[in-house]
Amino acid sequence: CDQLHDMMVHFDNLEERAKALKDTEHEGDLVAHELFERLNRTFITPLEREDIHNLASGLDDVLDAVEATGTRLVLYKIRSSTPEAATLTGIIARCAVQIEQAVAHLKDFKGLMAFSIEINRLENEADHISRQVVADLFSGGHDVLDIMRWKEIYGRLEGAADLCEDVANVIESIVLKSR
């Protein structure tokens, strides 16, 4: 998520940055596959198998969404970033920090709901920004191709924030089961 944010903020070396994102996403796939293999071989797990699977799948989905957005910046030959796109990638990066901290706290279950609440707040902020910027796209002051390009980019960014919220929901489910 930080890589996509840096890509959107600096908006240089897009092809190299997109490749680095793809490499990170591929590493995440390998970690997820290894986790699923271990899950199948392990008799007793610290959390319910389904919860571990859902959490890993959700994290993989976030990585996929972030990588797909970076790739499209190159494929669509986007010429420059927008402040709203940089804000949205910043929100997604902040969601990722919250997810990382929440996962670290799964060992003791302390403060997990606070992370979920913050991710939900950030996702609501992303929704608001996304709605405003898409409305602006259709205000009549933009090139048709730019409207098509940016509508998808903004949609994917908002979708990535939604996927972060899905991960928070899995964490909430784990908390509820632990009580």
114 Ramachandran zone, left/alpha/beta (phi>0; psi -120 to 50) = alpha
12 pLDDT above the threshold of 90: yes
- Supply the pTM of this predicted model: 0.93
For 116-145, the pLDDT digits (tens) are 999 999 999 999 999 999 999 999 989 999
Q: Kindly indicate the confidence band of residue 32, based on its pLDDT and cuts at 50, 70 and 90.
A: very high
- The vertex-134 CA angle with 120 and 130, nearest 5°, equals 15
User: Average of pLDDT values for 105-124?
Assistant: 92
- Residue 41: the pLDDT is 80
47 pLDDT above the threshold of 90: no
